[in-house]
Amino acid sequence: MDKVAVFGSFVVDLMARSPHLPVPGETVKGSMFKMGPGGKGFNQCVAAKKAGADVTMITKVGNDSFANVLLDTMKELDMSQDYIFVNNSTETGIALITVDESTSQNEIIIVPGACNTITAEEVASVESIISRSEYVLLQLEVNQDANEMVAELANKYNCKVVLNTAPYVPVTDDFLSKCYMVTPNEVEAEAVTGIKVTNFDSAKRAAKFFRNKGVIDIVITLGDRGVFVSTHGREEIIPAYKVNVVDTTGAGDAFNGGLITSLAEGKNLLEAARFANALAALSVQKMGTTPSMPSRKEIETFLSTAEQVN
């Protein structure tokens, strides 16, 4: 059995760093530019792959030079290209990322392109990989009808759907009911539930909202405050790790990739969240998204010496 399938987006990241983020109408002279592979789906898949998961990527690109960024990266990481679809009339997606050098905060515009055009026929063609997977990881960067079809397939084969609710778009109660787990950050949790997540009690209320929709396990990431976990009647906040932050872009993707890897290895959700916190902590110490994902050796070394925030 294949352990993990990631069904989601690939875009090419176009990242610039500047002294501060521009306000409307302002032009800011940047200090550097970098182009590389990205997209929440692909970032999470790479994070899982480098962390040691048996993982398969399912996405769609255009018939253009940006598609080669995906294919070259997958070849370099020894990832299967069997489930990469191509749209001959729509370009590969891109993300415009601006990073503030003084705060490491970022602003991002996503143009999903081809990965927003996944068809019912293409979803049907991945039924075999879904049927063999223990988990399928979804995000909201592809066309939602495709996500809903994948969730339906996963439920048919008792494959657990883990939904990272980013970037936020409205989803139906029926779709949520097909998700075994959701992993929003505090902003996305508020967007879905209407509950502003600021502390343990408000996180518990948000978790109750998701559970009432049929979700079994809930994980809410809280940035440098750590992560709230609700599973089988147990709820707690697992602290973040103390690190020097360089670039927060992709931290949530690192977390989700680490989480799904640890779960597929048979760890419980609390253990998996600690492992995922380590990936996120390592990723923010480097620039970029996919390139910042740590290796299994780096993760294990970090876990043996890291200090959590109290």
Short-list 145, 84, 141, CA closest to 289: 141
Q: Are 194 and 205 in contact (CB under 8 A)?
A: no
Query: Has residue 2 got a pLDDT over 60?
Result: no
Short-list 233, 308, 296, 297, CA closest to 269: 233
Q: Poorest-confidence range of 2-11, 104-113, 210-219, 243-252? A: 243-252
- Band (110; pLDDT cuts 50, 70, 90): confident
pLDDT of residue 138: 98
Q: What DSSP line would sit under 219-265, residue for residue?
A: EEE-GGG-EEEEETTEEEEEPPBP---S--TTHHHHHHHHHHHHHHT
Segment 234-241 shows an average pLDDT of 92
Query: Has residue 221 got a pLDDT over 80?
Result: yes
Which tokens sit at 147?
């996500």
Evaluate whether residue 309 is within a structural domain: no
Evaluate whether residue 26 is within a structural domain: no
Looking at per-residue pLDDT, the higher value among 246 and 141 belongs to 141
Q: Are 16 and 33 in contact (CB under 8 A)?
A: yes
Short-list 226, 237, 227, 248, CA closest to 106: 248
pLDDT of residue 104: 79
Whether pTM exceeds 0.75:
yes
Helix (H, G, I), strand (E, B) or coil at 181: strand
Which tokens sit at 295?
């290796």
Q: Poorest-confidence range of 54-63, 91-100, 135-144? A: 91-100
Evaluate whether residue 38 is within a structural domain: yes
The C-alpha atoms of residue 234 and residue 21 are separated, in whole angstroms, by: 40
Provide the annotated binding site for substrate.
11-13, 39-43, 141, 253
> 2-7 and 55-62: which strand pairing?
parallel
Which residues, at least 6 apart from 261, have a Cβ–Cβ distance to it below 8 Å?
4, 47, 48, 51, 52, 53, 55, 275
Specify the number of domains making up the chain.
1
- Percent of the chain, pLDDT > 70? 96
Q: Are 260 and 266 in contact (CB under 8 A)?
A: no
In the chain the first and final C-alpha atoms are separated, in Å, by 40
Q: Poorest-confidence range of 30-39, 230-239, 241-250? A: 241-250
Other residues' Cβ atoms within 10 Å of the Cβ of residue 158: 9
- Band (309; pLDDT cuts 50, 70, 90): low
**174 is an active site residue:** no
- Band (308; pLDDT cuts 50, 70, 90): low
Which tokens sit at 9?
């987006």
The C-alpha atoms of residue 228 and residue 153 are separated, in whole angstroms, by: 29
Query: Has residue 61 got a pLDDT over 90?
Result: yes
Its domain, for residue 119, covers: 2-21+32-304
Query: Has residue 250 got a pLDDT over 90?
Result: no
pLDDT of residue 251: 87
Query: Has residue 126 got a pLDDT over 70?
Result: yes
Q: Are 284 and 244 in contact (CB under 8 A)?
A: no
Evaluate whether residue 149 is within a structural domain: yes
Query: Has residue 1 got a pLDDT over 50?
Result: no
pLDDT in tens, 139-196: 999 999 999 999 999 999 999 999 999 999 999 999 999 999 999 999 999 999 999 9
Looking at per-residue pLDDT, the higher value among 283 and 216 belongs to 216
Evaluate whether residue 27 is within a structural domain: no
Query: Has residue 307 got a pLDDT over 70?
Result: no
- Percent of the chain, pLDDT > 90? 79
Evaluate whether residue 159 is within a structural domain: yes
Short-list 52, 32, 21, 38, CA closest to 92: 38
Segment 110-132 shows an average pLDDT of 96
Q: Which of 2, 100, 217, 253 does the annotation list as catalytic?
A: 253
- 3-state SS of 133-156 is EEEEEECCCCCHHHHHHHHHHHHH
> 84-87 and 160-163: which strand pairing?
unpaired
**How large is the C-alpha radius of gyration of the chain?**
18
The C-alpha atoms of residue 171 and residue 173 are separated, in whole angstroms, by: 7
For the chain, how many residues are written?
310
The β-bridge partners of 92 are: 113
Provide the annotated binding site.
11-13, 39-43, 141, 185, 221-226, 247, 249, 252-253, 277, 283, 286, 288, 292
Evaluate whether residue 287 is within a structural domain: yes
The C-alpha atoms of residue 161 and residue 295 are separated, in whole angstroms, by: 25
Q: What does the mean pLDDT of the chain come to?
A: 93
Query: Has residue 244 got a pLDDT over 60?
Result: yes
CATH code of the domain in which 75 resides:
3.40.1190.20
